[in-house]
Structure 1
Amino acid sequence: MKYLLLVGAFILAAGTFGNPSNAMFQDSTMKNAVINEALYQEIKSYSEQHEIKPIDAKVDRVWKAMPGYNGLIVDVDASYDKMKTAGKFDETKLVFKEVPPSVHLDDLDPQPIFRGNPDKPMVSLLINVAWGDEYIPTILNILNDQQVKATFFFDGSWTKKNPDLALMIYNDGHEIGNHAYSHPDLQKRSRTETMEEISKTNDVIEQTIGFKPKWFGPPSGSFNQQTIDVAHELNMKMILWTVDTVDWKKPEPSEMVQRVVSKVENGSMILMHPTDPVAKGLGAMIADIKAKGLRLGTVSDLMSENRID
């Protein structure tokens, strides 16, 4: 038996060393496995060093409800698959994936929203519409030329009187919000009246454009906890603003633009109306905001946890 084992070992060794190609193949396979393992670990190490943690939604002391923001990590396995043929690390072939936060905007108690996440380089234009019909076509043309989508908050009575104009704004791809029915001071309205103002406007908007708003902008920024609670009961969130154009005071367009742009930062929401100063200054305002490295999007875009990189 011992003799047979020795013979078998001799034959196996002879087969290996007697065939140079077999020996080279085994050596090559082992070497390649080591290189690939090193590559995998290099990608993993890069991922750990460059991970961006997600940010939870929270209730800020000043800004109240603030949305979360996705984190970012390297998808190690997907990145490895793209690099394994070459067998070396290539930063241009890295594959990233977003990591959602643990706490979302919907998890928070009902609160007003004054701004987006301060880590997201985006701002939104809030255009409250209850009057100023003559300036809307100009504003729409500017937004179209600049490839910007805004969120228009419709007064219910205005929508009922101007269904074609309301539909034109919606068909241009802009987001539609609710601005109550008769521009009331909601701090002075009962719960029943507040419910009627918001619900009636939702109904008119839905009948006009086939879409029910999810954002509510209180007229003149007047609200109380009752207003917030009623909007919440209607599955809506209340939107206010970070920066005000104060366009209703008819400022010089250039002064308005300079003042607004100087205050705009990540997550800002800019309040305006279809007025002459906005019609004359909106193009410059958008250009200056873009020059600060900020994107412009709807309220839904801004509230989204999706990253902008």
Structure 2
Amino acid sequence: MNQFYVFHIKRVKQLIIILIIAFFTAGILYVQNFMQFPVFSTSDGPKAVYRGETKNNEVSLTFNITWGDVKAEPILNILKKEGISNATFFLSASWAERHPDLVSRIIKDGHQIGSMGYAYKNYTDLEKEEIRRDITKAQEVFLELGVKDVDLLRPPTGNFNKEVLNIAQKSGYTVVHYSIDSEDWTNPGVDKIIENTVSDLKGGDIILLHASDSAKQTEEALPAIIKNIKEKGLKNVTIEKLVANTEVKSSEVK
């Protein structure tokens, strides 16, 4: 009996040790996954902007466009109707060169243009030179279209690391992420897009929306989003205005 009791205690201790190791490993994996969230910067190097200062009561509506022919114009129509002339559009240059009239209208309506590179490829999967070529090719397209002073970059797919930040900085770009994800590209329903966008909205937030054809419900959700921004006493501004002379938020990238 005593031998069984001792053996039982040993088994319990072994199980406890196994559980501790399992929880510790899970914790490490969680931290690693969290730290891959692509809104970081080096402490003394290039920075990725994901929000401005809360106290200024300013937010930035941003729209990604990578493909499609039909959704961008209705979005521009709604912004004009609602009196918004300072959104920021991040364009894939491959889309821009196929839609020069829409690019011209974005500028004419007062909006800011940022780059999403040329081809919609995950920069973290590319070699350094491939990233540089993609950014440079996009620069050339924007210049040919008469779009000047494009100095904001939102990496395709939203993923980036320290290497991408360094290349962007050397190419004259500031990487811009976001603090509010509408998840409109998943088409979860108009009400859900509105909820995702406005439920925690506050000054300094950068809002991610899409004007590509894959985002089929953004057009319908946008008026309510703009109305909520105004009701909260917030003002929409371009990214350039949001981060000018303010303390932008960033954390260390790994």
Q: Structure 2 length as normaliser, TM-score?
A: 0.76
Distance 2:230 2:44 in 1: 31
- Contact 2:183–2:196 (CA under 8 A) maintained in structure 1: no
Distance 1:194 1:157 in 2: 15
- Residue 64 of structure 1, CA deviation: 4.6
Distance 2:113 2:48 in 1: 18
Q: Mapping of 1:33-48 within 5 angstroms?
A: none
Which 4+ residue blocks in structure 1 deviate beyond 3 angstroms? 62-65
Distance 2:245 2:147 in 1: 26
Distance 1:167 1:297 in 2: 20
Is 1:135 the equivalent of 2:75? no
- Residue 125 of structure 1, CA deviation: 1.1
Distance 2:207 2:69 in 1: 20
SS at 2:105 equivalent: helix
Structure 1 residue corresponding to 2:180, chosen from 243, 259, 273: 243
Distance 1:254 1:156 in 2: 31
Alpha-carbon RMSD: 2.0
SS at 1:272 equivalent: strand
- Residue 289 of structure 1, CA deviation: 1.2
Distance 1:63 1:128 in 2: 17
Q: Where does residue 35 of structure 1 map in the other structure? A: none
Q: Mapping of 1:273-284 within 5 angstroms?
A: 273-274=210-211, 275-284=215-224
Q: Mapping of 1:23-38 within 5 angstroms?
A: none
Distance 1:109 1:213 in 2: 21
Is 1:145 the equivalent of 2:81? yes
Q: Mapping of 1:94-113 within 5 angstroms?
A: 109-113=45-49
Is 1:270 the equivalent of 2:207? yes
Structure 2 residue corresponding to 1:115, chosen from 51, 63, 83: 51
Deviations 1:137-170 (A, max 9, x none): 2111111122212100110111111112111111
Query: Which amino acid counterpart does residue 272 of structure 1 have in structure 2?
Result: L
Distance 2:204 2:72 in 1: 25
Count of paired positions: 205
Query: Which amino acid counterpart does residue 151 of structure 2 have in structure 1?
Result: K
Distance 2:69 2:103 in 1: 10
Segments of structure 1 that go 5 or more residues without pairing to the other structure are 1-61, 66-106
SS at 1:211 equivalent: coil
Distance 1:206 1:263 in 2: 38
Distance 1:109 1:147 in 2: 38
Q: Mapping of 1:52-91 within 5 angstroms?
A: 64=40
Structure 1 residue corresponding to 2:231, chosen from 283, 291, 304: 291
Deviations 1:56-78 (A, max 9, x none): xxxxxx9656xxxxxxxxxxxxx
Distance 1:243 1:227 in 2: 22
- Residue 209 of structure 1, CA deviation: 2.5
Distance 2:154 2:78 in 1: 23
Q: Where does residue 12 of structure 2 map in the other structure? A: none
Distance 1:210 1:223 in 2: 25
- Residue 108 of structure 1, CA deviation: 5.8
State the structure with bigger RCO (CA 8 A, min sep 6), 1 or 2: 2
Is 1:173 the equivalent of 2:113? no
Is 1:224 the equivalent of 2:161? yes
Distance 1:294 1:245 in 2: 17
Between Structure 1 and Structure 2, whose CA radius of gyration is higher?
Answer: 1
Query: Which amino acid counterpart does residue 141 of structure 2 have in structure 1?
Result: V
- Residue 177 of structure 1, CA deviation: 0.2
